[in-house]
Structure formats: structure tokens, C-alpha cells
A and B are shown apart, each in its own frame.
Chain A
Amino acid sequence: MSTHTPPRRADAAAVLEADGVSHAFGEVAALQGADLRVTDGECLALVGESGSGKTTLLRCFNALVRPSTGRLRVRGRAVADSDPVALRRSMGYVPQQGGLLPHWTVGRNVALVPTLLGRSNPEAAARAALERVGLPAVEFADRWPRTLSGGQRQRAALARALAAGPDLVLMDEPLGALDALARAELRHELGALIRDAGVTVLLVTHDLHEAAELADRIAVMKDGRVLQADTLDRLRAAPSDPYVTELLDRGLGSAVAP
């Protein structure tokens, strides 16, 4: 195996591509020439410190952020040329706080995207999605979001992201708001769900354990750039920058076996 060959699905098409993407919020530069490629079916984790630009890069792919320079493609099509609403409906989204609409029942929340897409029987899709994430529909569909625990809320958000059966899901710190116990429990289930669903996942996290367990590849970001994107093994074996090793050591400990 050559060092240039991606570890998995080397022949797979790129679902998400960023080339030289830069963006600033006022005076603050969030992205400074970021490059990224996420291939079909893989789970890629964006890791880095606060302010490194991981969330901004994720939000470029669903057109919530319009970068000032650089090229972005989703499924081979330029984001700039796409209808943002249609683009967003085509992919799932799981934010840190769940983002459930507080005035809608859990069932109605989960049925959101199928409803927006005009699918027949969105309620049935919502019930099926709830079952998949371990929230029995008969018990949870009619409850209000504020009555759920943190873990249940993130499960419901995940169900909402998956309900319309997208091939791509963006997750922004999906476990970040949970306590350690709930996070560890949900992490395992999330990994199984991602594999079963066969979806492409772009996962933003600051937790390297989470990245190591869930992701096929890890992209290390610093100062608005992607320093290196590869498997954990290769990042360990052939870091492109001393910072890659430093971040891994800080986040995982230097002696962790992959």
C-alpha cells in the first residue's frame, strides 16, 4: 500500500470537497485556505482546538457559511451553484445542543425533513427513525423536548437527521453537551448507527477519543487550515507537522495504542 493511497474505499467518489477555502467573521479569520476531501461512505472527524475553524468548515458544506474565497463541492456539485434549501434538506444535521424545536413534540421534530420534502406519511418515517436510535416511538413521539434527558435529546436529534434517509450527515459536537457517562454510552451506539446506515459523516469534535472510535480518518485543523487528514495510525506514524503529534498526545496520551 502506497502512502498516498487513502486507507478505505480508495476508489470512492468525493462527497465533500473543499479547496483553499478562506473566510473571516469581520476581522477574525476563521478559515485560511482549508482543503478537505470526504469520500463516499466514510466517517471523517475534524479535530482541533477551539477557534481552529472546524465548525466553520462544516457549516460551509450546508451553506450556512458563505466563504469569501475557495471552492466547495457536495456530491461533485459546487455549493455556490446549489439551492441552499434543497442542499440542506438532502443532508442530516446534528448540532451540539440537539436544536430540537421546543414547541414541537419529539415526533413532529423528527418528521421535519420528510415533511419539508413532501414525503407521504412523514409520521411513519419519524417513528421508524426514533426506533433506530433507541427511543420507542410509542413512548417518545408525543413528548415535549424539554422533558427529555440530554442523551435522549441527542438521540432524538440524530433520529431527525436520519429520518429522511440522507446519504450524508453533518455532526457538530453531537455528544459535546453530554456528561461523561451519557457520552461514553452514546458514543458506542453512534458508531454502530453510522456503520449500519452506511452514510457519509463529517463529524466535528474536540474529543480525540470520540474521533478515534468513530472516524475512519481524522483531519487535524489549526489556524483555519487542515494540517493533515489520515488514519490515526498514519497520523501517528507520519505526522506532517509537529503539531499533529502534539495534539494527539494531548488528546489521547502518548502511549495509546490505536
Chain B
Amino acid sequence: MTAGASLRSRGAALVLLLSTVFGPATSLTGQEVSGSVPTEPIVVASKPFAESFLLAELFAQRLEAVGIPVDRRPGLGATDLAFRALRTGAIDVYPEYTGTGLAAILGLEPEGDAADVYGIVSTRFMERYGVRWMPPLGFENSYAIAVRPETADSLNLRTLSDLAAAAPDLVAGFSPDFIGRPDGLPGLAATYDLRFEETRPLLQSVKYPAIAEGAVDVIDGYTTDGGLDRYGLVVLDDDADFFPPYEAAALLRPGLAAARPDVVAALAPLSGRLDAATMRRANRRIEVDGQEPAVVAAELLAGLSLGAPGATTATPSPDVADTGLAEFIWSRRGETARQTLRHLWLVAIALGAATLLAVPLGVTLARRPTVAEPVVRATGVLQTIPSIALLAFMIPLFGIGVGPAVIALFLYAVFPILRNTWSGVRDADPDAVDAARALGMTDGQILLRVRLPLAAPVVMAGVRVSAVIAVGTATLAAFIGAGGLGDPIVAGLALSDERLIISGALPAALLALVVDAGLSLVESAVRPRGLSED
């Protein structure tokens, strides 16, 4: 058994444990705990943007075409999350770009042509991580630094060197990924001596509308983006050859090639078969026409004669972009219900576990003032870790999916409950506590019969805060493949599909309201009658 497989089964064991403890929800995780079936499904993942979704879908359908079962995990965080998941064996395959591997993962200076770069990454990745690069699919998707045509005309911009001269008067909108990567803005700025008036982090989905409306003047796109054509943007020439070649290829987790030669054999015929024009058209079908990646992938495979024999499962639906919002949401109601249940289940397990830990801990701390402050402050610090970062830390330890998501949600849920229990028990009506002690109640009696009942509404208020936070944070769990209402949000952001975003965000907001209202009833119920104003 490889290290990756054992990690994954550890994750599965955790899920199994959680679902055993919280029995009623077990059926929802059926797919995660089926690790013991003979042909384990191949976990195909993607990063959260349209082309990555499309390529992952292409790999998945290709594997299914030859009878290999597939588990899809699209939209994993970004390069760091996806590669971490692959390296630790939490996923089996995802599409990556050679230039990204060279600069962002290996941290090397870009050099040589496309074949050189592929040679470097395939050798180094195998040596360092045991990760295998399949031969490239046949097209490059580099960064495209683009401006509006009016900007290009008035400032006479054709190259990135031209841009450097005008940059101090321009506002740039770049993806957060690009702003941080060595092969992104830092290297670009150093190479061309670029200094913008302002640089704003923008998500992929809002970059094109933002530049079209003049909110920013310069964006980073991908050369195969449908948006470049749609908005008629001018791509500036990389005249100093800063960007390395970004050839797309399938990346295989350590040990997969040896263990599953059938997977390698199934994916191999895709190599060298997709050119840039084909991909631009395909991306445009998704980003501009609102077509689903699965449909476009099926068309591509059929065009290459690599699809399932006679498969017409994914029929194109040309009017999909014209469907009204209400109609669209209604058409997804089954999916939404399933995702809502999954979401609620993630929150319930995390919240239940956090309550079981935080209430006794808070009670204990209320009697130990010297250690209480540091412990409460430490859990408070945990609260300040950005959710995406915390989720990224989870991957090497727990893989991807439900397990690490629940653990991350649990860590966030502890603090409000702990703080409220601690302060509620500590500050419970001091006159009443003093009298109870002076009249001969033991410490245990004071705790159980005076402090805890008086603190109960405060504790419940903490649980309520944690619950609402957890419902919101759980949408981010989609970045590590845990499912829930974050799935349509992440997919919608990646595919620039607002209806899809709303179809996840709306139920998530409603769920937060319902959970809050439900817990407020519990809060009233645990409030001792002597305290209420009725």
C-alpha cells in the first residue's frame, strides 16, 4: 500500500468514525466510506477555473469511457491546495500547466522552450514528489496581460515594455494567485520594472466585467480565455519572454502509474490532441454561452473519437444560458436539497463536536483563572486563521473531503462556545453564587445547580454564533471537495455563472437564518424561567 493510499484510507476511517458517532447521517457519506470495494474509483480533481473544470471532466469521461469508475472533485482551492492533495494521495489526477509546475511549485526561473520545461518538470516532479506528468495535451495556456482597446490606442501599448512606461497611471486587477506567484506579478514587475498606480486582487469571474466597465485598466487572463474575445481586449506581447510555456497536461499522484496502468493507457490518447483554437472555442462555450463543462467535454471526446461507444448521455442544451434565474434554481431543486443536507450535516457534526469539547473545557477554565486567559486567547487566534489557509493545512494531515472540512469547521466553532461558557460560568450572578456557598452548597452543587443553569443562555448564544459562522464557512469546504452548498458557488465563480453562484449562496443564507432561528428557540428554552421577562 502506498503512502497516499494509506492517507486516504485514514481519511476514510475518520469519516467512518464520524458517521458512526453521528449515525443518522451515515447514508450521505456512502461514497466516502466505500474504500474497500475492489476497483476503487479514480479521484479526478480540478482547480477552480473553467478550463480546469473542462479538462478534469475530459479526463473523467475518458476514464469512464473505458470502464474505470471516477469520483469527481472539481474546484479544489488553487494550485497549492490541488497539488498538496495530489502529492498526499487525496486525489489521483488533475490538470496542471508545465509553467506553473516549474515556477509556482518547483520555484525555478523560467528558461528554455516548451519541450525543455516539460523535460524539467517531468524529471524533477518524479524525483522530488514521485508525481508523474503525462505528455502535454497539445496546447499552451499562458498568462495574457490585457487592456481595453481604447487604452492600447491612446497610450500606444503593444508590448509589456510599453505597459511599464504607462503603468504608474493605470489600475491593475489581478487574481490573488497571480499576485503571489513568482511566475506572476512579482517576477513580472521585476522583469519589466512595472509599477501600477494600484493593484487590486480580483476573482477570475469579475475580472472581465471589471475591465470592460473601466473599474480597472489591466488584467491577467489566460490566453485560451473566452473573455478576451468577448470583450475585444488587447493582449500585450511578452517581449522579454518572461512567462514560461504553460502546456496543459494530466498530473498523476505518486504510485498511480504503477498501480493503475489502465488509467495511464486511458489518458495517453489525449496527449497532443487538443490545440489552442479548439480550447478557446470550448472555453467560450462554457464561459460565454453558459454550457456545462460535462457537455463540452463530451463533445470534445466525441470529436476525437475517444468517447464512450455511442454515448450520448450529455446532450447539449443550447438554450441553457437563456433560462431565467427562478427557473434555473427550480430546475436544480433536487441537487440543492441534497447539497443543503450535506451542508447541514457538515455543520451539525462540527458544531456537536465543538460543543462537546468547549462546554466542559469552558467550565474547567472558569475555575482556573490563571490558565483560562491563555487558553481562550489561543483558541481565539485559531479563529483568525483564514479559512482557506486552515483548509490547506488540513490536506497533508487528513486529505480532502468531508473529514478535513469537518475538522476545520470544528476548530472555528470551538472559540465562541468556549468563550461564552467560560465567561458565563465565571460571571454567573456573583451574589447568588456567594450565598449558595455561604449556605453550604458544595463546589459541585454550585456548578451544576447554580452556575450552569444561569450560564445556559450565554452558552447557547455562543453555540448560535458558532452555528452561523459554520454555515458560512462550510461553503468554503467545497474548495477541498467536501461538497455542500459551496459546490455551486465555487463552480459558479470558476465558470463566471452568476445563476450557479446564487443557487448556492441563496440556500446557504436561508440555511443560516433558519439555523439561527432554530437555535434562538433552544436558547429561550434553556433560559431559566426565573430570568425571563414573561
Q: Which residues of A contact B (CB under 8 A)?
A: 62, 64, 85-89, 92-93, 95, 97-105, 112-113, 116, 144-146, 157, 160-161, 170
Chain B residue numbers with a CB within 8 Å of A93 are 435, 438-439
B429 within 8 A of A: yes
> Contacts A144-B529, A144-B530, A146-B531 hold; do A102 and B432 have CB atoms under 8 A apart?
yes
Closest A-chain residue to B454, C-beta based?
A103
Evaluate whether A98 and B431 lie within 8 angstroms (CB atoms) in the complex, with A103-B453, A103-B454, A144-B529 already known. Answer: yes
CB-CB under 8 A from B530, the residues of chain A are: 101-105, 144-146
> Interface residues of B toward A: which range?
20 to 34
Q: Across the two chains, which residue of chain B brings its CB closest to A161?
A: B439
A92 to B439, CA, bound (A): 7
**Is B438 in contact with A103, judged by CB distance below 8 angstroms?**
no
> How distant is the Cα of A146 from the Cα of B532 in the complex, in angstroms?
10
Q: Is the CB of A88 within 8 A of B439?
A: yes
B442 within 8 A of A: yes
Determine if A95 and B434 form an interchain contact, defined as CB atoms under 8 angstroms apart. yes
Whole-angstrom CA separation of A97 from B431 in the bound complex: 7
Instruction: Give every chain B residue within 8 A of A97 (Cβ-Cβ).
Output: 431
The yes or no answer to B437 lying at the interface (CB within 8 A) is: yes
The residue in chain A whose Cβ has the minimal distance to the Cβ of B449 is A101
User: Is B321 interfacial (CB 8 A cutoff)?
Assistant: no
**Chain A positions within 8 Å of B450 at CB level:** 101
Interface centre among B442, B450, B528, B530 (most CB of A within 10 A): B530
Tell whether A103 pairs with B531 under 8 Å between CB atoms, given A93-B435, A95-B431.
yes
A-contacting residues of B (Cβ < 8 Å)?
429, 431-432, 434-442, 445, 450, 453-454, 528-531
Contact A88 B437 (CB under 8 A): yes
The residue on B at minimum CB distance from A96 is: B431
What is the CB-to-nearest-CB distance from B485 to chain A, in angstroms, rounded to a whole number? 39
Q: What is the CA–CA distance of A83 and B439 in the complex, to the nearest angstrom? A: 13
Inter-chain pairs besides A95-B435, A161-B439, 4 sampled, C-beta below 8 Å: A89-B439, A95-B438, A101-B450, A144-B529
A103 touches B440 (CB 8 A): no
A99, B440: Cβ atoms closer than 8 Å: no
Bound-state CA distance A88–B438 (Å) is 6
User: By the criterion CB–CB under 8 Å, are B437 and A64 in contact?
Assistant: yes
Task: Please name the residue on chain B nearest to A146 by beta carbon.
Answer: B530
Offer 15 A-B interface pairs, CB within 8 angstroms, sorted by A: A85-B441, A85-B442, A88-B437, A95-B435, A98-B435, A99-B431, A99-B432, A99-B434, A99-B435, A99-B438, A100-B435, A102-B429, A112-B436, A145-B530, A157-B435
Chain B residues positioned under 8 Å from A64 (CB to CB): 434, 437-438
B434, B445, B453: residue with the most chain A Cβ atoms closer than 10 Å? B434
B440/A85 in contact, CB under 8 A: yes
Residues of A near B439 (CB, < 8 A) are: 88-89, 92-93, 112-113, 116, 160-161
B457 to chain A, nearest CB (A): 10
Question: Shortest distance in angstroms between A124's beta carbon and chain B's nearest beta carbon?
Answer: 19
Q: Who on chain A is nearest to B442 by CB?
A: A85
Q: Is the CB of A86 within 8 A of B440?
A: yes
Instruction: Name the residue in A97, A102, A103, A144 with the highest tally of chain B Cβ atoms < 10 Å from its Cβ.
Output: A103
CB distance from A144 to the nearest CB of B (A): 4
Known: A103-B454, A146-B530. A113 touches B435 (CB 8 A): no
Chain A residues near B453: list those with CB within 8 A.
103
